[in-house]
Structure 1
Amino acid sequence: MDITRGAALRRGVRLEVATIAWMLVEAVIALAAGIAAHSVLLTAFGADSVIELLSGIVLYVRLSAESAGTSRDVERLEATTTRVSAVLLVLLCAYVVLSSVAGIVLRITPSDSIAGVAVSAVAIVAMPLLARAKRRVNQVIGSPSLRADIAETISCAYLAAVTLAGLAVSMLTGWWWIQFIAALALLIWIVPEAHEALEHRRDNGSITGGKA
């Protein structure tokens, strides 16, 4: 059992390293392409990448600590990571709402962006695979903060699909607003995940307070 958990932790660390590396590239490309194309959704996609990058860094610290055998600090790190992940998910909800509403109100029609299309296409394929690998690891570790991180990874794939599909539909039909409506649909899934992460944050806070 210890060997299985140890292997899962080491794999989790490698997955978070991959997450950090990709999200850094994705954030830079998406933000730059979004600004250049005046695309609110593509810029928001880049913001999602930044949130995922921060989450990956936090999870890397948490998993590395336990993998290295510093078990006395794992519970504290788990609580801290859960709190950070909860905040990141709330921020994720906020930027989706703000960017989508702003796009509709301001009638912003994004221009074509080859770089944006490319990075979104890669994310559509890579993120579900990464989320699946993280989920397998978490079946052994059982970390609520990693569960929140998985939610952010899946949301990244969703937004990548929205970015591509929304841009394609708006270009073909002239429905410039369709990608913003699709982005708002993300809240149907991400809000419950954010609520669950906040519940874990509250529970961890109660446990920590009780032990103090």
Structure 2
Amino acid sequence: MSISVVTPQRRAALSRRSLWLAYATAGYNLLEGLVAVAAGAAASSTALIGFGLDSFVEVSSAAVLIWQFRSRVPEDRERLALRLIGLSFFALAAWVVFDALRALLGSGEAEASPVGIGLAVASLIVMPLLVAAKRRTGRELGSATVMADSTQTLLCTYLSAVLLVGLLVNALWGWSWADPIAGLVIAGVAVREGVQAWRGEHCDDCAPTPVADPATSQTSGCADNCCANRKA
């Protein structure tokens, strides 16, 4: 099997692409989060509010990526960036579990939300496009952080599907309990992804990428930074 070599120029281009993908993700998810939280508050929907908060977590993940790739040596910030992404997942899960349990215990029933349904459909269209672009970039660059961020965007895609099902069930049959159940699913997936980010398990999704630099024989990428120190 031949090993592709990434030149310093190509590596710089991939880093810039990662940065712009992070900006695009942050912009879309900020808008998505504001709409979801507003619609969720209007409909007393735990799932919609949780989805909106996940959008803000996605913004924070993109911000971590921006912080990392604005460094002259992004790999030096990889380990801390993954830990920060993991913490954001845990914070999201804690709030969603609390609000879902509150709803299930009878503190209010969710109403139908056409705005939430439309938002979920839009996210199911936009998110997979971002995931594909991030995964191509992350694999070629050999960055665990970009791969972790792509997984978080993929999680947003799954959550959009879960949200859509919960909202449609509630709207069509009036099963308001489906909303907090969908919220608990969101929380469970968030915890799993948080643990993976904290442990650096996203390093398994990429490999060290040789650099065409005659001055050094060292490879670069997540396997040399995050993965090698995963158990530290």
CA contact (8 A) 2:93 2:190 kept: yes
Number of aligned residue pairs: 202
Secondary structure at the aligned position of 1:168 is classed as: helix
Aligned-residue Cα RMSD (Å) equals 2.6
Does 87-96 or 129-138 show the bigger shift? 87-96
> Corresponding residue for 2:28?
22
For the structure 1 residues 135 and 108, does the alpha-carbon distance in structure 2 shift closer, same or farther, using more than 3 Å as the test? Answer: farther
> Corresponding residue for 1:88?
88
**1:189 positional shift:** 4.3
| Equivalences for residues 16-55 of structure 1 within 5 A | 16-55=22-61
- Confirm whether residue 7 of structure 1 aligns to residue 26 of structure 2: no
**1:129 positional shift:** 1.5
Structure (1/2) with the larger helix percentage:
1
> Corresponding residue for 2:175?
175
Unpaired runs of at least 5, structure 1 = none
**1:117 positional shift:** 2.3
- What CA distance in whole angstroms lies between the structure 2 residues aligned with 1:85 and 1:4? 26
CA contact (8 A) 2:117 2:167 kept: no
- Confirm whether residue 162 of structure 1 aligns to residue 141 of structure 2: no
**1:187 positional shift:** 5.4
1:91-124 CA-partner distances (Å, limit 9, x unpaired): 2332342333222222643223333222222111
- What CA distance in whole angstroms lies between the structure 1 residues aligned with 2:32 and 2:110? 18
Alignment identity in percent?
Answer: 33
Secondary structure at the aligned position of 1:106 is classed as: coil
**1:81 positional shift:** 1.0
| Equivalences for residues 1-212 of structure 1 within 5 A | 1-2=6-7, 3-65=9-71, 70-71=72-73, 74-106=74-106, 108-186=108-186, 189-200=189-200, 207=229
For the structure 1 residues 187 and 25, does the alpha-carbon distance in structure 2 shift closer, same or farther, using more than 3 Å as the test? Answer: closer
Secondary structure at the aligned position of 2:87 is classed as: helix
For residue 198 of structure 1, what is the amino acid of its counterpart? W
**1:16 positional shift:** 0.7
For the structure 1 residues 186 and 29, does the alpha-carbon distance in structure 2 shift closer, same or farther, using more than 3 Å as the test? Answer: closer
**1:152 positional shift:** 1.8
CA contact (8 A) 2:50 2:92 kept: no
Report the TM-score when normalising by structure 2. Answer: 0.76
Secondary structure at the aligned position of 1:112 is classed as: coil
CA contact (8 A) 2:40 2:46 kept: yes
- What CA distance in whole angstroms lies between the structure 2 residues aligned with 1:159 and 1:45? 7
For residue 40 of structure 1, what is the amino acid of its counterpart? T
Does 177-186 or 146-155 show the bigger shift? 177-186
